[in-house]
Structure 1
Amino acid sequence: MAWNEPGGGKKPNDPWGGGDQGPPDLDEALRKLQQRLGGLFGGRRGGSGGGGGGASLSGAMLGLVAAGIFVVWALMGFYQVDEQERAVVLRFGKYQSTAMPGLHWNPPLIDEVIRVNTTKVRSASFREVMLTQDENIVEVRTSVQYVVDDVKSYVLEVRAPENSLEQAAQSALRHVVGGMTMDLVLTEGRARIAQEMRERLQAYTSAYGTGIRISTVNVDESKPPSQVQAAFDDVIKAREDEERVKNEAQSYANGIVPEARGRAQRTIEEASAYREQVIARAEGEADRFGQLLAEYRKAPEVTRERLYIDAMQGVLGKTNKVMVDVDGGNNVMYLPLDKMAERAASAPRSGREISLDTATIRELTDAVTEQLRRDAAVQQNRRGGGR
C-alpha cells in the first residue's frame, strides 16, 4: 500500500510521521511561521527539544535567503556614469544630487537614477508658413542644434523639454520673420534670421528653465508658397533686370566720372597755377615799382623819358604799322605794312613772288628815311637861298 493511501494506522513510509491526516490547517501553518520568524530574529523558541532543532534549521535557511536577497538588492544599487553623461538622483521622487562620471551606489527601489548625455548634439527641424512685415506669405524651414547644459533643469523643471523647444523655436521664428520684408527673407536675410532667432530662442529656453543650450540655428530653406510661385518668379526676373540695368549704368558712370574728375582736377590745377602767376607778377611789379620810385627820385627826367620809351615800345611793338620821323622836317611818314602784307598775300603769284620779311621791311624803311632826309635837305637849302 502506498504511504499516502487512505487507511487507519501509521504508515511506515509516511513522511509526516503520523497517521491518517486531513487537510492542513491554515491558522496552524501561520502560527508555525510566526514561531520560526521569532526564533530567527531572537524571539522566544517554543516546543520540545526535537521541535526546537527543526525551528533553528528553518530559521537559518530563512536567514540565508534574506542575506541573499540583501546582497542582490545591494548589488542592484551599483551603476556606472559614463564620461559624456551626468546622472540625476531622486530619492522617493525628490531631487537628491547630481552624479558625475564614475562608479556610484544608491539604494535601489529607494533612489531613482536618470542619466542624460550632455555632450551629444541634438537637432530638431521646424517648418513654418507665416506673414512678413510687408504682408506677404513665406515658408521657412529651419534646423536647431542644441545640447543639454543643465541636467537638473532638463529633467525636473520642464515636463517635455523638446516640446518646449519646438514651441519656443516657432515663436522666435515668427517674431523674427514678422519684422522683415519678403525680399530680405528670401535673399540675403537668412544669416540675419538665423542669428536673431538663435539669440531669441536661447532667451526663451533660459526663461523656461529647460536646461538647453542652443548651439546653432540654420535656415535651410525660405521660399514663397507654391500657390504664388509663378508670380514670384516674375518678380525675381524683374529684379534681375533691374540689377543688370544698374550694373550697366554703374559701368557707364565708372567710365565718365573719372574723366570728368580728371578735367575738373586739371582746371583746378590751371587755376591754381594762374593764381600763383598773377600773385608772383603782382609782387614783382610791386617790387619793380619800389625800385623805380627810388630811381625816379634820384633822376626824374631820365626816368620819365625811359618810362615813355618803354611804354611806346610796348605799344608799338605789337602792331604792324611803322611811323618814320625825320629830324628837321615836319612830315611824318606812315607805312601801312599790314595792308601791304594782305595785298601781297592776295595778289596772284605769277612771275616773281614778293615776300615781305623783316629784312625787306628794314630796307624799305631805310630807303624811305634816306629819301625823306634828302627832301628835307633840299627844302632847307631853298629856304636859305631865298633869304
Structure 2
Amino acid sequence: MPWISDGGGGGSWKPSGPWGQKPSSPQQPDFEDLLRRGQERIKSWMPGSGGGFTGGRGILALALIGIGVWLLSGFYTVAPSEVGLNKIFGRYTGKTGPGLNYNLPFPIGEVEKLPVTTRSTINVGFTYRPDMRTSVDLPEESLMLTGDENIADVKFVVIWQIDPVRPEDYAFNIANQKETVKAVAESAMREVIGRSQIQRILTAERKVIEPAVQELMQRILNQYKAGVLVLQVQLQSVDPPEQVIAAFRDVTAAQQDQNRMRNEAEAYANRVVPEARGKAAATIQEAEGYRLQTVAEATGQAARFDKIYDEYKKAPGVTRERMYLETMERVFGGMDKVIVDQDGDRSGVVPYLPLSALTGKATEGAHK
C-alpha cells in the first residue's frame, strides 16, 4: 500500500488512499492486510513452520475436517425398487428401505443394494442369441427321462424375484444366485417328468406340470434359505426327441383314432342299452301280469270247485245231473241239432242218412 509524508524532512508516515488522498472516516478494512494475516496463520498451522503448538493444532484441525468429510460420505439413497443391506467390517447389521439412509463409510462400512421388485427370467433347455431374435437349443438341459423310460425334450422358462422380506438370505446364504436358481429349476422339472408318462406329458398333464414344478422349486429354495420367490413356471414346448418325433406322431394319431372309436362305441352302448332295458322291463311286467291273471283264474276255479264239491257232498245225484246238463249245454249250445224222443211214438219219423249233404261238404273240402 502506498505511503506519503505529511511534512518536511523525515516526518512520520501516514496512510493515504490509493490515489494519494487520506482515507475518509470511518476507516475502511484493509483487505490486503487481512489476506496477509490469513496466509501467515495458515503457515503457522503447517508442519515445519516453526510455529510450535500452533502447528500441532493445524494438523488436528485438518484431521478433524477429514474425518468429518469421511463420515458425511456415509449417507446414501435407496431407490423405491431396492433394499439396502448394511455391513460393518463385512458383517450384516440390518436392512434399509427406500430414501436417504446412513451407514459408516468404506472401509469400515459397506452397503449392498438389491432390486427386490425386479422380475428375472431363466431359460432352461434353450437360450437366445445376442440379437434376441433366434434361440439355440441346449439338449444337455432339455432332454429328460420320463416315468415309462421314454425321453422328452422339455423347454421352459422360470420367472422369479428376490424375496423382499428376506433379501439378506439372497445376498449372504448362496453364491452364484442365478446359477443356483437355474440348477434347482432343472432338477425340479426332471423329478416331475420322471414321475409322469410320455403320453400324458405330451397331452393332458402339461397344465399340471407347471404348478408342480413351481411348488417343488419353492420348497427346495426355502430349504436353502435362498431368499428367492418363484413367481411362475411356463412350459415353452414338450416334444419327443427329434429322431423319433415322426413315430410319436403316428402313435398319437392312432391313440386319437382309438379314443374316437371308443367314444362311438360308448355312444352306441348308451343308446342301445336303455332300449334293451326298457324292453326287458316291459316283458317282465307282461309276465308278471300274466302270472297274476293265471293265478287269479286258478284260484277262482279252485274256489268254484270247492263250492261245487261241497254241494255235491250234500246231494250227489242232483249235482251230477246238474253238471251233466251244464256240460251238454256248453258242448251243444252252438250246434244245429234235432232232438228225438226215443221213448215216445216214432211212427212219424223216418231216420235217413243225408248222403248228398255229406258228399257236398266232402267235395268242398277237397277243392279247398
Q: TM-score range by the shorter chain?
A: 0.5 to 0.7
- 2: CA distance, partners of 1:118 / 1:346: 115
Deviation of the 1:93 alpha carbon = 0.8
Q: Which residue of 1 aligns with 2:244?
A: 228
Q: Which residue of 1 aligns with 2:153?
A: 139
Question: Match for 2:113 among 112, 115, 120?
Answer: 115
Question: Match for 1:217 among 222, 233, 247?
Answer: 233
* Structure 1 letter corresponding to 2:239: K
Give runs of aligned pairs for residues 93-242 of structure 1, distance below 5 A.
93-109=90-106, 110-127=108-125, 128-149=142-163, 150-242=166-258
Given that residues 147 and 194 in structure 2 are in contact (C-alpha distance below 8 angstroms), is that contact kept between their aligned partners in structure 1?
yes
Given that residues 80 and 102 in structure 1 are in contact (C-alpha distance below 8 angstroms), is that contact kept between their aligned partners in structure 2?
yes
Q: Which residue of 2 aligns with 1:77?
A: 74
Deviation of the 1:125 alpha carbon = 1.8
Q: Which residue of 1 aligns with 2:89?
A: 92
How many residues in Structure 1 have an aligned counterpart in Structure 2?
292
Deviation of the 1:303 alpha carbon = 11
* Structure 1 letter corresponding to 2:205: G
- 1: CA distance, partners of 2:47 / 2:329: 153
Deviation of the 1:321 alpha carbon = 6.5
User: Taking every aligned residue pair, what percent have the same amino acid on both sides?
Assistant: 32
Given that residues 85 and 117 in structure 1 are in contact (C-alpha distance below 8 angstroms), is that contact kept between their aligned partners in structure 2?
yes
Q: Which residue of 2 aligns with 1:353?
A: none
Q: Secondary structure at the match of 2:122?
A: strand
Give runs of aligned pairs for residues 33-44 of structure 1, distance below 5 A.
none
Given that residues 46 and 58 in structure 2 are in contact (C-alpha distance below 8 angstroms), is that contact kept between their aligned partners in structure 1?
no
Q: Secondary structure at the match of 1:264?
A: helix
The CA deviation string for residues 244-295 of structure 1, in whole angstroms up to 9 with x for no partner, is 3323333433332232222223233334544555676678779x679959x9
- 2: CA distance, partners of 1:83 / 1:265: 77
The alpha-carbon distance between structure 1 residues 329 and 188, as it changes in their structure 2 partners (threshold 3 A), is farther
The alpha-carbon distance between structure 1 residues 170 and 297, as it changes in their structure 2 partners (threshold 3 A), is same
Structure 1: runs of 5+ lacking an equivalent: 1-31, 37-46, 331-338, 350-387
- 1: CA distance, partners of 2:82 / 2:150: 46
RMSD of the alignment, in Å? Answer: 4.4
Given that residues 296 and 303 in structure 1 are in contact (C-alpha distance below 8 angstroms), is that contact kept between their aligned partners in structure 2?
no
* Structure 2 letter corresponding to 1:133: G
- 1: CA distance, partners of 2:289 / 2:94: 88
- 1: CA distance, partners of 2:205 / 2:222: 26
Greater fraction of residues in helix: 1
TM-score (norm 1): 0.60
- 1: CA distance, partners of 2:204 / 2:109: 54
Q: Secondary structure at the match of 2:169?
A: helix
Compare 235-244 and 165-174 and name the one that shifted more.
235-244
Q: Secondary structure at the match of 2:252?
A: helix
* Structure 2 letter corresponding to 1:248: E
- 1: CA distance, partners of 2:329 / 2:162: 100
The alpha-carbon distance between structure 1 residues 250 and 74, as it changes in their structure 2 partners (threshold 3 A), is same
The CA deviation string for residues 95-119 of structure 1, in whole angstroms up to 9 with x for no partner, is 1112234432111112222222333
TM-score (norm 2): 0.62
Structure 2: runs of 5+ lacking an equivalent: 1-44, 126-141, 345-357
The CA deviation string for residues 304-347 of structure 1, in whole angstroms up to 9 with x for no partner, is 67994898499759x977888777769xxxxxxxx9xx979858
Q: Secondary structure at the match of 1:119?
A: coil
Compare 93-102 and 79-88 and name the one that shifted more.
79-88
Deviation of the 1:161 alpha carbon = 2.0
The alpha-carbon distance between structure 1 residues 34 and 251, as it changes in their structure 2 partners (threshold 3 A), is same
